[in-house]
Structure formats: C-alpha cells, structure tokens
Amino acid sequence: MTEVWCVLRSGGDFTPQHVARLSAQIETHAGVKLHCLTDMPSVVADVANSVIAEPMHFNWPSWWAKIELYLHPGPILYLDLDVTVIGDLRPLMDLATKHNMVMCRGFWGDADPNPLNSTVVGWRGDQTAIPRAFLRDVPGHIERGGQRDAWGDQGFVRSLLGADAVSLWQEEIPGAVRSYKREAFPSKVLPTAIVASHGKPRPWDRGGADEWLRAKGVRV
C-alpha cells in the first residue's frame, strides 16, 4: 500500500502541530497513518501521537531535507505541510504505484522558469539514486539550487531525471491538485483533493486557503 509522508525540519515556519493538522486530514481522506521524516521525532510523536515519526539522518537545510525522503522505497505520496487535504487521496495514492515520479506542474505558469513543483510528489520503487547523487556535492547542489532556473529540490530532481521522466498530477488527474493562489476553483471546489498554498500566506493564516475554504462551506 502507498504510504503518505511529510517532512518537518526544526527551525523553520512549521511545527509538530502542523504535522498533527495534516495527519488528521490524511486519516479522514485516506484512512491511513501519516509518516513524518523529522529531526525531532520524539516531539512529533508526543504532539501528533497517531503519526509514525521517522528520524532524519542528514542535516540538509530547508527544503533540501526532502531529498532524504527518496531513501525510502515507494510507493509513497509526499505532501508539504502547507497543503490542505479536502478530498479523496486514494486516486493519488494509486497513481504513485504506477509512475516512477509524479510532481506538480509549476504553479506560476510561463513566469516560472522551473516547470516542476514538489508540493505533492509520488513515486514507486527505488529512487535512492537521487540522494546518492546529492551526496556527491551537497554544497554545490544547494548553491546551484538557489538559481531560478534550477530552483530547490524539484530543480535538482528535474536535472537528474530529466523533465520527460517526471509525470504531472495536473495531467494524470486533472483538478486533483490546485493552487489556492494561482488557479480558479469550481464553485463547489470539488473534485479537488489537495489545495496547495506553496508559500505565504500559509493556509492557517488570515487570508489563507483554510479561511477561504470555510467560507465556501468546506470542512477543513
């Protein structure tokens, strides 16, 4: 069965309470427990006791911590902590069993030089080639990943695998993943499963996705 994962690294915008928030949504919309790769597993386990907390082994900063996830064999569905899950995740979990790598199309359209976004990622099988390649030159990859045409962890994965090797959620399951900031929603929001905030405001902030969804009558 596809496992659902998130990543929490201390020192940033996110806390164990945000893991607990996502865990509740995963149990509601997928009926499975959430796995969390984190550098504070005991704290996560205390705050979100239904979560399976897995310790990090590398001190990679910021979003680069996601690269360690690929040491875990798929099928896995990964979600950023600032998504809001409002619908059935099982179609996305099923798709993760059929593709080597699935990511989001970049949410900023033609203005985005990086065509991929790693807010939601799915993969099957062995993807350990990704962290092994990253380990060969961690400082260099991080420096290059600060350039807009190779931005972040998704830029690194794209450069390693090639864009044609990565499938897109928006093409495989149209409407299942939507950007709160960049996309028009149908009046009833459905059949959206995941609302992506990808930056500030976070969904729980004033003016964020959760406030807007509640105004639409969606339970979050």
Q: What is the pLDDT of residues 159-214, one digit of tens each?
A: 999 878 999 999 999 989 999 887 655 555 557 899 999 888 999 999 999 998 88
Say whether domain 3-172 belongs to CATH 3.30.365.10.
Answer: no
The phi and psi torsions of 89 (rounded to 5 degrees) equal: -85, -10
CA distance 212 to 18: 18
For 59, 193, 213, the CA distances from 50, given in Å and listed in that order, are 25, 22, 25
Q: Return the amino acid letter for 122.
A: G
Lowest mean pLDDT among 63-72, 79-88, 145-154: 145-154
Tallying the residues shown for the chain, one arrives at 220
Q: What is the dihedral of CA 168, 96, 132, 68, to 10 degrees?
A: 100
Q: pLDDT digit string (tens) for 91-135?
A: 999 999 999 999 999 887 666 666 899 999 999 999 999 999 999
pLDDT at 148: 62
Q: Return the amino acid letter for 112.
A: D
Token couple for 2: 């596809």
Sequence ranges of the domains in the chain: 3-172
